[in-house]
Structure 1
Amino acid sequence: MRAWVAEQDWLTLERLPTYAPELNPVELLWSSLKKRELANLADDHLADVADATEKGIHRLNHNPQLPWSALAHTGLTVQPPHPPNLRKDQ
């Protein structure tokens, strides 16, 4: 793997701590879901929890800037450095 990575001029590897949720944008999205759709949810049926989770995922999917803001919160970047131009009808 190291040899292959060394041949890729476009790829930069960063060493990260073993456990660093503050550097994982998905943790922020999961936190948002837990604070809204799953907050105080106590139900007898797993299907109800799954429905609430799906509702939260739909909410996250309908805000295309949210993943980018979660990434910005970590201080990490990807190329291109800005979100792609989004059509207004999305």
Structure 2
Amino acid sequence: MWDSLPEHVSAQMRQWITNQADWLMVYRLPLYAPDLNPANGIWSNLRITLLNFAVRGIDELAALIKHRLKRMQYQPESLTGFIA
């Protein structure tokens, strides 16, 4: 699956894909397709849970994000919902 991230559509990446044509099949995603990428649902949910927090620095923000992602890990039904 190939989205429009600049690194994915670079000339170097197109050349690499061309060289792998015997075994690699690439499907391009539309420019904006959150329903085709379950990770977008995870990040969206994470952002919502962080809205009411004020942090004092990058280390505190990183710790908060890790804590929230860890909590999601133990809620497989939510993660399955992002895929569905």
Pairwise same-fold verdict (TM > 0.5): yes
Match of 2:61 in 1: 49
Going by fraction, where is helix more abundant, 1 or 2? 2
- Root-mean-square deviation (Å): 2.0
Give the deviation of 1:14 after TM superposition: 4.2
CA offsets per residue over residues 41-69 of structure 1, 9 Å max, x none? 22222121111101111111001222221
Listed as ranges, the matches of 1:12-51 within 5 Å are: 14-36=27-49, 38-51=50-63
Q: Give the match's secondary structure for 1:68.
A: helix
Match of 1:65 in 2: 77
- Equivalent-residue separation in structure 2 for 1:39 and 1:3 (angstroms): 47
- Equivalent-residue separation in structure 2 for 1:51 and 1:57 (angstroms): 10
* Number of residue pairs matched by the alignment: 65
Percent of matched pairs sharing the same residue:
31
In the superposition, the TM-score normalised over structure 1's length comes to: 0.58
Match of 1:86 in 2: none
- Which runs of 5 or more residues in structure 2 are unaligned? 1-19
Which stretches of structure 1, 4 residues or more, deviate above 4 A after TM superposition?
none
- Which runs of 5 or more residues in structure 1 are unaligned? 7-12, 73-90
Q: Give the match's secondary structure for 1:43.
A: coil
Give the deviation of 1:20 after TM superposition: 2.0
Q: Name which structure has the greater RCO, CA cutoff 8 Å, separation 6+.
A: 1
